[in-house]
Amino acid sequence: MSSRAAYLRASAELRDNPGQWAAYESEGHCVVLAGPGSGKTRTLTIKMARMLAEDVPEPRGIACITYNNECARELEERLASLGVEPGGRVFVGTIHSFSLTQVILPYAKVAGMGLPDQFRVATRSESAQSLKDAIVQVFGGPRDLREWELPMSHHRRTVLNRDSEAWRQKREQLADLVEAFEAQLRRRALIDFDDMPLLAVRALRSNPWLQRALLAKYPVLVVDEYQDLGAALHRMVLGLCFSAGMRLFAVGDIDQSIYGFTGARPSLLKSLSEREDVQTVPLRLNYRCGNRIVAASRVALGHDRDYEAAKGAKQGAVFIHRLGGRYEEQAARLITQFLPQALARHPTLSYRDVAVLYPAAWIGDAVANVAAAVDIAYLRTDANALYPRNSRLMQWLELCGQWCCGGWKTGSPRFSRVLRDGRRLFSEVLSGEAASLDFHGKLIKCLWGQRDAALKLHDWLNHLVGEVIEPFSDGCVGLHDELEILSEFMAKVAPGGGHADMILGSLAGNGGQLDRITLSTLHSAKGKEFAVVFMFGIDARNLPRPGSNTAQAEEARRLFYVGFTRAKLEIHLVHTAGAPSSFIGHIQQYLDEA
């Protein structure tokens, strides 16, 4: 089926939803305010396919910026189902990837960015050492990195104009530290991830010709999860779309803004949606959650946004569990009692349909320990996972592993997708046809010879690294941090490591490849959905944290709301007896009155 036929067929599904259809029919700048489960990804991708076919003549294309690599991968999969292959005319990636590949690498020298020749992206250890040296320079001696790393990053991301009074008046020491840190990076011929959007914004502001160059390539800019992307992205949008002339199609939800500690500000999406030259479209219907969950979620949020469950939605159920004892004892009740009971109520469900969400990774340790003790498989997506779930390289290795574990027979995933994602990962060194064919040959030879789920994971990785990754990674500026992540993971699964018994078949996929429950922080669960959700550790000391100011308390409430609205059929709120979060009290009152 052609891409035009595919999106036209898919668009018929949008007609019955006034909001989705209005977004699909929009012609100028459009902001879609999309509540949980409102079908925003489907709307966005069908609209992208339409704009690419009807509004953007070849060879021009569309750039789509989203929050993280997992979001980007989902968008790519949705677009592929509509016959739109990312690459070439379509860019899909994070603000960091867009800044690096579309602005910094092509134009660093001619745009006067002041970067050293042969610069590359710092690894985490290189960034840490640069910060240590900067701290000694500014304070005259060592300090705890954890005390300064997050505030410094927040200051860099939120105060973009370093000539303004706010740059030094807010916290002069932070300004000094940022400048010293960046100088240490440059001395090592490095940039870090925070540098990427900042350098791109400055270059675009100082070089109008650069704005025109991007406009010539991408007349349409699509932004997903706008509320999470911060001041640099907002400044970029204002310049490219409302000065240079790109057309904007943005999707977001002020009520799901939960990354204030990284510099995200929901007010930016609000101000964008209120512009007179922007068509603002709300999506009201929730296709994910049952009726009772949608009704209770309005209480969870504390604001009535007029959301309602879509026609034909199931009832859904809300449970509150008041438990005594430590988290280990509470986790035992959850895993051995509440989980089996939920699955018994829904015989068609399995572990992959269940998630346990918590405010912080250390709380999840209790659940992981109990699950392991009773031999229930789980997938962790928090800071205590075996590797960062947002790593592009590790995501590709998961895909390679799935192909070797049966995908070569079933077509899930197809080798064409494994190859395409690999080529994008190593794109900096695969620009020529000969290099691209060499990569293709090495990859298929390596994977074809390792089609065995029982292989030791360390052996499989060693072979892939030696045959494919090492030969093509040296010239890739943005992969050094990813390679450090891979090296750390390989040490864990090596003989003598803590996970030496891991086999290829247990390599984490997207959560649907194996029958296991998902363990995740509330932050990491954003964008996901599960039939049954347990929110664990929802206590007064965790949500909101004691001493939170008004803005922090409001964000904690939005975080609670995000977790609450991951559930389709059942949401379980688990708290310590005598110490519930105030948010649970609101839900309990609603249930008592219903």
Q: Which helix (H) or strand (E) holds 299?
A: helix 291-301
Three-state SS string over 425-475 comes to HCHHHCCCHHHHHHHHHHHHHHHHCCCCCCCEHHHHHHHHHHHHHHHHHCC
500 is in an annotated binding site: no
Give backbone dihedrals phi and psi of 436, rounded to 5 degrees, phi first.
-65, -40
123 annotated binding-site participant: no
What does the angle CA 22 – CA 293 – CA 322 come to, to the nearest 5 degrees? 155
The one-character DSSP state at 580 is B
Nearest alpha carbon to residue 529 among 512, 508, 515: 512
Query: What CA–CA distance (Å, rounded) separates 53 from 55?
Result: 6
The DSSP code sequence of 510-571 is SSSSS--EEEEETTTTTT--EEEEEE---BTTTSSPTT--HHHHHHHHHHHHHHHTTEEEEE
34 is in an annotated binding site: yes
Residue in 278, 286, 334 with CA at minimum distance from that of residue 310 = 286
- How far apart (Å, rounded) are the C-alpha atoms in residues 70 and 59? 27
**Residue 258 and residue 254: Cα distance in Å, rounded?**
9
| Annotated binding residue 40 | yes
Contact 351, 517 (CB under 8 A): yes
Q: For residue 88, count CB atoms less than 10 angstroms from its CB and return exposed for 0-12, middle for 13-18, buried for 19 or more.
A: exposed
Q: How far apart are CA 44 and CA 283, in angstroms?
A: 12
Q: How many residues does the chain have?
A: 594
Helices (H), 406-432: 408-410, 415-425
Strand order in the sheet with 62-66: 90-94, 62-66, 220-223, 247-252, 30-34, 279-283
State the burial class of residue 181 (Cβ atoms within 10 Å of its Cβ: 0-12, 13-18, 19+): buried
The contacts of residue 344 (CB under 8 Å, 6+ apart) are: none
Predicted local distance difference test score (pLDDT) of residue 106: 94
* Whole-number pLDDT of residue 506: 81
Please name the residue that has the structure tokens 């390596």.
446
Distance from C-alpha of 42 to C-alpha of 15, rounded to nearest angstrom: 13
| Residue 41 assigned as binding residue | yes
Measured distance CA(250)–CA(273) in Å, rounded: 9
pLDDT of residue 170: 62
Q: Is 39 within any annotated ligand binding site?
A: yes
Instruction: Identify the DSSP state of 352.
Output: G
Which stretches in the chain have pLDDT values below 70? 1-2, 170, 508-514, 594
| Prediction pTM value | 0.91
Torsion of CA 425, 426, 427, 429, to 10 degrees: 170
User: Strand, helix or coil at 300?
Assistant: helix
DSSP assignment, residue 342? H
pLDDT of residue 510: 41
The C-alpha atoms of residue 533 and residue 405 are separated, in whole angstroms, by: 29
CA distance 29 to 278: 5
Q: pLDDT tens for residues 230-277?
A: 899 999 999 999 999 999 999 999 999 999 888 889 999 999 999 999
